[in-house]
Amino acid sequence: MSKKLNAIDLFSGAGGLSYGLSKSNFDIILANEIENDFAKSFSLNHPSSKMIFDDIHNIDFKQELKKLKIRKIDVLCGGPPCQGFSTVGKKNKLDKRNSLFWEFLRVVNETKPKVVLFENVSGFKRLYNGTAYLTLISELEAMGYHAYSRIINAANYGLPQKRLRTIIVAVDKKKSFKFPDITHTDKGDIFNKPYLNIMEAISDLPSLNYGESKNQHLTKPKNEYQHRMRNGQTILTEHNASNYGEKMREILRLIPSNGSVLDLPEHLRPKSYFNNVYGRLDDSRPAPTMTRNFGTPSSSRCIHPLQNRALSTREGARLQSFPDDFIFYGSKSSKNLQIGNAVPPLLGEVLGKAIHDSITK
């Protein structure tokens, strides 16, 4: 069996990245999250990890590691929120707008992990004329790391969702890192499987009427992905539909396959809108990037491919690769936010395997 490695997860959210890393033989020894519901969800699913529910500015990570009697860290991961990174390049570390960026680097310097895993939006490299990206790379290199970066589409690794993210992996300059090989492509070929589509991810879940909730799967798992998502769970949770007023019901009935607000009569359209709102998902394709609003029909393309409703919380979790036994704490809107903001566990697992190889080879 391969060697067990340890990891710290900053800005952990509900723990999607940590869950994926744990599947790649990592022990998540420590995590930090400032949002109460997110932190509780993390702890429910990672009971052996120490969760520090606090502002990262208040935490001395050296002291925390001493308390845990841990001397060396293998991986430090996280994706600080990118709001305010515009002034990062000016090196004003006291500027509250970009302080989370500098806090991430502070923890790298305090814990000196073998590998740093940084995750952010797909346009991170171009944000604010590249100042944040270039500063991150130069700061990591000054600490003795060599950084590898790539924009990754999670659909290329078996996620039933096109989700583009910037991934930066920094390793000791004596080591090297190789990004994982792609396993799925649009149509598939002799080397790769085709992208997983939405219905391949959720077709074993029962249909829902307005305001309805169901706790039994519709069928046995129909494919490898569904089997993996079940993870031995026999009771279906978080599969519920909102109740809608008559106007919304009429709108939902009128949206055709792959349709959007543009297919509605003028009197049912909002006064101003983007062209992809009230969008029905394409059952033959992966989902577009999931956001916190996947349970809101008027948001961008989140209406069920075959039913007249927005996606349920469980369907959103499936499209993000959270298994059916993963527990989310809080209100429905909070749970959807946790899911939409998460690093998909499947992507965390794929990256974890590649990082594990780079450390142990």
Sign of CA dihedral 77, 79, 84, 89: positive
Asked whether the beta carbons of 242 and 210 are under 8 A apart, the reply is yes
pLDDT score, position 209? 96
DSSP state of 263: G
- How confident is the model over 298-352, as pLDDT tens digits? 998 899 999 999 999 999 999 999 999 999 999 999 999 999 999 999 999 999 9
Angle at 207 between CA 205 and CA 213, to 5 degrees: 85
User: Which tops the pLDDT comparison, 130 or 110?
Assistant: 110
**Span 253-262, average pLDDT:** 94
Angle at 68 between CA 66 and CA 69, to 5 degrees: 60
Query: Is residue 223 over pLDDT 80?
Result: yes
Mean of per-residue pLDDT scores for the chain: 94
pLDDT score, position 361? 79
Q: What is the percentage of the chain residues whose pLDDT exceeds 90?
A: 85
- Which residue type, as a one-letter code, is found at position 78? G
Confidence of residue 215 (pLDDT cuts 50, 70, 90): very high
Q: Which residue has the tokens 């109740």?
A: 243
Both structure tokens of 151 = 């924009």
pLDDT score, position 283? 96
pLDDT score, position 92? 55
82 is catalytic: yes
Asked whether the beta carbons of 319 and 161 are under 8 A apart, the reply is yes
Report how far apart the first and last C-alpha atoms of the chain are (Å, whole number): 14
Confidence of residue 131 (pLDDT cuts 50, 70, 90): confident
SS3 of residue 268 by DSSP = helix
CA dihedral 31, 164, 155, 181 (to 10 degrees): -80
With 0-12 CB in 10 A as exposed, 13-18 as middle and 19+ as buried, what is 160? buried
Tell me the backbone φ, ψ of residue 101, rounded to 5 degrees.
-60, -50
* Range with the poorest average pLDDT among 82-86, 246-250, 294-298, 335-339: 82-86
**Span 285-309, average pLDDT:** 94
Q: Which among 10, 82, 107, 205 is annotated as catalytic? A: 82
- How confident is the model over 152-173, as pLDDT tens digits? 999 999 999 999 999 999 999 8
| Cβ neighbour number for residue 62 with a 10 Å cutoff | 12
Confidence of residue 91 (pLDDT cuts 50, 70, 90): low
Asked whether the beta carbons of 318 and 273 are under 8 A apart, the reply is no
* Domains of the chain listed by start with CATH number: 5-184+343-360 (3.40.50.150)
Task: For residues 304 and 295, give the distance between their C-alpha atoms in angstroms, rounded to a whole number.
Answer: 10
